[in-house]
A and B are shown apart, each in its own frame.
Chain A
């Protein structure tokens, strides 16, 4: 990455890894070991935690008739975190700290889990009304107060 402070998009190497993983999963229905190793190398302990979240089917893609979508991830603590689909945002404290404040992580484990569940196609899907989606997005703000 050119700039030291990364913008909130995935670096090319991660994008590439994810699309390779997606292709491999298409063929074999599992993530190849070398991809897993690379994932751990890039993301450290978050990788294992994220994979665990995926295994436990903890990620839900919520959408409404409008087409707008948001992700929710059931964390290991039992708390549900909201992740935005279009740009990097997660309501968990680790995101606020490691990604935003200290910039020493690219993603928190929940966001990584979202990406991985897209790759493996193991997202739960939940359809809600437009109004309910508004409430989900808006409640996000109150959670932090």
Chain B
């Protein structure tokens, strides 16, 4: 399951599929989904996964401290791993930008994974596409700098979670498509409610030309444990279009 999770999030460590990427840890990934679609839970799981790989600390940026540790961490909530996840809470876009702009000034080992939860909260304050582009570009530049610091064969991954509107297209469609251009890989999360008491998500990963699209079913058990299984591919393939069309794809 750990391998599946890694694939879901396209962490792309150098060990993935046996291909050694010199300075890259896989393309930057944009995680999209409506409210309550499990983005934070997946980001957190990715953080723990990367922390367990022993390559470097994980930097988790979010506006507000997580009220509770996200559901689904279950057995993976190893205190040693948790110690390697550094949380920072830039309260505004200004602080986030400052953090990213000064990332090279920080001492100590470079992170192996940079995570940002709630990008939409930082974009709200901005005036237009150029600001959103600059934030996206800075995130990429910061991760690239960390990659450069860690040296060949390692690199720093980047996963950014963005909350999208539930259905249909709204004013942020332009913004989403702009951000999609900076993030080659994307993963869409859609909540499915198959029945009472069940909370299930469909995760659709598009690695952006580096591999085929793939889907997973992310389920949360009542005890909070998260399980990930490949999405059954029968007639389910037709509804793939529904998932991607809500993504504003060209």
What are 6 pairs between A and B in contact, CB < 8 Å?
A4-B250, A6-B181, A96-B130, A100-B130, A130-B104, A144-B134
Query: Does A131 interact with chain B (Cβ within 8 Å)?
Result: yes
Scoring B residues 96 to 137 as 1 if CB is less than 8 Å from chain A, else 0, what string do you get? 011011111100000000000000000000011111011001
Q: A68-B103, A134-B102 are in contact. List 15 more A-B contacts (CB 8 A).
A: A7-B182, A67-B148, A67-B149, A84-B137, A84-B138, A91-B134, A95-B130, A100-B133, A100-B178, A101-B129, A131-B105, A134-B105, A138-B98, A138-B101, A138-B102
Digit string of B178-200 for contact with A (CB within 8 Å is 1, else 0)? 10111010000000000000000
CB pair A87–B131 under 8 Å, yes or no, is: no
CA distance in complex: A67, B146 (Å): 10
B92: which A residues are within 8 A, CB to CB? none
A128 to B155, CA, bound (A): 25
Which residues of B are in contact with A by a Cβ distance under 8 Å? 97-98, 100-105, 127-131, 133-134, 137-138, 140-141, 144-145, 148-149, 174, 177-178, 180-182, 184, 208-209, 249-250
A2-B209, A3-B250, A100-B133 known; A67 and B141 CB under 8 Å? no
With A68-B104, A68-B145, A134-B101 in contact, is A5–B138 under 8 Å at CB?
no
Q: Which A residues are in CB contact (< 8 Å) with B148? A: 67-68
In the complex, the chain A residue whose C-beta lies closest to that of B208 is A7
Cβ contacts under 8 Å, B141 to chain A: 68, 84-87, 89
- Looking across the interface, which residue of chain A has its beta carbon closest to that of B149? A67
Query: B104 near A141 (CB under 8 angstroms)?
Result: no
A35–B138 CA distance with the chains assembled, in angstroms: 32
- Report the interface size class on chain A: 20 to 34
Q: Which residues of A contact B (CB under 8 A)?
A: 2-9, 64, 66-68, 84-89, 91, 95-96, 100-101, 130-131, 133-135, 137-138, 140-141, 144-145
How far apart are the CA atoms of A68 and B104 in the complex, in Å?
A: 7
